[in-house]
Chains A and B, each alone.
Chain A
Amino acid sequence: MIRHIIVFVMLSYAATTYAQEPILSFQSEYAGRNMVGAYGGITATSSDFSNRFVGSLISDDQLEPSLILDQLSIMDADRNKLGMDYESGVIGSWNVKNGPHSLLFRASDGAHIHFSTPKNAMALVFQGNKPFAGDTLDFSNISGLGMRYQQLSIGWSYNQGIGASIWAMASFVNGQQMAEIDISRSWLYTGTLGDTLGVGLTGTGYLSDTSHVGFAKPSGIGGALDFGLNRQFQGDFSDWIMRASVQNLGIIEWSSRTIQADVDTNLNWYGVEINDLLAAGEQFEGTALEDSLTRGIDNSLSKGRHYTWLPGAAQVDFVQLKDKGLELGGGAVVRWNAGYNPFAYGRIGYRFNTAIALHSTIGYGGYGAFQMGIRGGYVSEHIHAGLAINNLEALIVPSQFAGGSLNFHFSYLF
């Protein structure tokens, strides 16, 4: 029985750290025991960007043109995603009177970034507008969200029997920082001779209070719910655990000092009109394109409250339970307000004994396409630990994929 519980705990943690699965969940149950622990992880994923490109962009002095061309060659015309999640925290579980009920605690710091851009926007940024002279470059549908927040959570779990439990947590969310952009229409026309620039822009943007920044400084407040259930059932060759959860179902209200931009403008630029060369200097003043754009954007700026759904997730996971030998599993994840495609994965691994297991994961979806990861877990009487490295595909084929993930957890049971 204890062994089953230990295996379940380990696999639950494993699930929290697999590639592209939410890393913020609290899924553990410690029937009849108390626990304190810490966890953390960061994951970044994209199959539309390459690690070689991103790595050079953030670490080299000069980005080679060939890398840019390679990057553009693998991009989708309309949507190219990149997502990143980070969370670290401390957790605790207190068993009430050695019974089926436990109280759950959590304090965490998290961040989420995702954006989606068409290929043309990247081409404009990394190649300039000259390749598109004589044409209208449409780079509409740029969207992105970034936020940093902290959570204080308290919850409850009820152990209904072997492998069967339900749990729920309520969180107070401190919104530290947020930036959101959604450009539905954007285009740039460049004249054949370079004598005309036309710009069209329709979109909205939000930026949390810029005068009040720093770790845990509140720019917004909100709440969230996490809940789930676990059920053990018997298969042909072994038992399985099914786990279903909803995480970060919540919202943040950003303060009234949130900057909002609502832009809908079209501009044409032919240069400064100078019909008197003797007064050319005077005619240059205040007539540049960026002045017009700035005026247009300034006129669209306002401040006010803004509500943002937390980038939450719903997940279902199946895990095979064995004492030793080959183990299988799989699951699926959907997320909201995260720019995230549904993600499905399968896992296979080997359990060496009741304490040590090594699993690999192969998945598809989320912010990328094909993804794979590996993790190891250790379980003893008082120590539970796990370490996962994901998005191995980006390490193996850096010219085609981008990303990297590292997650860990450590718990002490008493």
Chain B
Amino acid sequence: MIIIPRPLVFLFAFVLFATSCRRDLQLASWNVDLVAPIAYGELNFSDYVTSDNLIADNEELIHIVASETLVSLGLDTLIGIPDYSIDTGFVIPISITFPPGVPFFVQKEDTRLEVKDVELTYGVIRESEIEVFLENTIDKPVLFQYAIYSATLNGDTFFVEERIEANDTMTRRYSLEGYDLDLRGESGTGYNTVVTFIQAMIHPSETENHKFNAGDEFNIKNTVKNIIPEYIEGYFGNQSLKFDEDESVKVFEKLPFKSVNVTEYDLELFIDNGIGADLKLSINELTAFNGSTSKEVGLDHSIIGSDEFFTRAVNLYDANDPVRHVQKAFSFTDENSNLDKLLENRPDRFLFDLSIEVNPLGNVSLGNDFAWYGHNLSAIMKLDLPLVISVKGAEFTDTAAFTFESGQSANTTKRINSGQLNLFLENGYPFGATVQFYLMDTLGTVLDSLLLVPTSLDGALENELGIVEESVKSVVEIPVDQELFSNLEGASFLKTNVQLNTTGLDSIHIRSNSQIGYKLTADLNVATQ
């Protein structure tokens, strides 16, 4: 949005006030030469980068730091225990009489969990609930008793007892939080199995026997929902997990240049295994993708295409510190990779294709694989990019929508005969620039340029220590006339084009205490009406 210099409005007001004692007297117009400040400020490079990603070291050198988690493989991915239901329905086959308090239905059974190709023997439930649905179709109240023998809390088995009134139904929910789960079944040698018990009787409070008719029906449905284990143990199988995803990165999106020559960096791929199972990691592809240019650069490093084996984490059986992780870091340098090319691409996304094989050597733990909640297998990319860069020839282009407020300020702008806006710069950064501004219509057609020719701005010089000792002054003159305002009214976008050039040395240092001071002033010849 273009703002009409308000100090000019003030000066107009002064001129008109002083010459308009009589409102009905139409005075002649005359031209005055006005100069006035419009804006000033100090621009700092760090303002344009997500602040969390910037730190300054002791020498005020700015570092871009980032930590992006590429993969996080946890219990849900490894085990993935789904919701499950146990439906128990029975029909009285013959007419028979039962006294109150004598079970007319008893069932104890093993229920197999529908999990992946794993053999789980033990677990602790972090969060889950069980929903019990009971239906009584006879004309006497019935006492239902339901137990999960596999689930114990402080030694007590999960057990519920409910009275269902005659010809009634009931739904109840119970929490399973904190229950230990023995998944070995009734035999004690199985896996993925829970043992449940159901019993029904005419409620003992009744005084008369009840005669069941053939065809009387009872229904029980138990649903275990939202199972989040705190801990799981068993054999996790020989699984292969493939990850073909992209991860957005926000580090570079505000960097004010399209390309940069990175000369120093420190990046590592950090693998952190908190799972009690052997793993094999294969990184097939890692690509830096720039969405604005659609350019992608693939990582060239020894890790690409090779298999990396990770031994299992160590179970410490301590709820406060339950796991000793196994960690491994891969360092990327300009000698062992082309990572600089990836960073210079200003990626906004990392595309990666990797696969993980669990227990590549089979059940070598003899069913003692384990996983704790929150202790995952993670692949984290850690970046430390000190801004020692070369931006020679780098280009910064930004297109911003704007609306020229001609309505309110039309009288003011129409009175401007000629002049210019002066941008006085005091550059404390060791790079210069060549700038031009373009007005564009909605179709992107360039209507006009604000500067007669692209204007060069000098950059400051670094000393041998890479420190700028003195800022450099430059002036950008933007001609102003009625043609400009006409083009402003017709324009919808302002395109800024900046060609950056480091001065002196090939690589310069971007420091947090550097800045570009500017003052924008108007120098206009204006008609009073």
Contacts and interface: CB of A to CB of B under 8 A. Distances in A.
A131 B31 contact: no
Interface in B44-95: 44, 47-48
Interface stretch (A10-18, A189-197, A333-341, A397-405): A189-197
B10 interface: yes
Interface of B: 1, 3, 6-7, 9-11, 13-15, 18-19, 21, 25-44, 47-48, 422, 424, 519-523, 526
Nearest to B38: A271
Nearest to A275: B41
Contacts of B43: 275, 277
15 contacts: A57-B27, A61-B29, A65-B30, A65-B31, A125-B14, A127-B32, A130-B35, A193-B422, A194-B35, A194-B36, A195-B37, A195-B424, A197-B36, A273-B39, A288-B7
Contact of A197 (B1, B7, B47, B520): B7
Nearest to B9: A290
Interface in A270-309: 270-278, 280-281, 284, 288-291, 293
A275 B44 contact: yes
Interface in A233-273: 269-273
Contact of A271 (B10, B40, B44): B40
A271 B5 CA distance: 9
A139 to B, nearest CB: 10
A293 to B, nearest CB: 7
A211 interface: no
A194 B34 CA distance: 9
Given A128-B526, A129-B35, A281-B3, A271 B520 contact: yes
A80 B1 CA distance: 44
A130 B523 CA distance: 8
A272 B42 contact: no
Contacts of B21: 113, 146
A126 interface: yes
A128 B38 contact: no
Contacts of A270: 37, 40, 519
Contact of B28 (A63, A131, A146, A274): A63
Contacts of A273: 39-41
Contacts of A113: 21
Interface string A130-148: 1101000000000000100
Given A195-B40, A275-B44, A128 B11 contact: yes
B47 A62 contact: no
Given A58-B27, A195-B519, A196-B37, 11 more contacts: A57-B28, A65-B31, A126-B32, A128-B11, A128-B32, A130-B33, A194-B36, A197-B7, A271-B37, A272-B39, A281-B3
B198 to A, nearest CB: 66
A270 B521 CA distance: 9
Nearest to A276: B47
A169 interface: no
A280 B14 CA distance: 27
B41 A121 contact: no
A141 to B, nearest CB: 14
Given A276-B47, A288-B10, A197 B30 contact: no
B28 A193 contact: no
A68 B30 contact: yes
Given A113-B21, A197-B36, A59 B28 contact: yes
A269 B15 CA distance: 18
Nearest to A68: B30
Nearest to A56: B28
A-B residue pairs, 4 tightest by C-beta: A194-B35, A128-B32, A288-B6, A271-B37
Contacts of A280: 1, 39
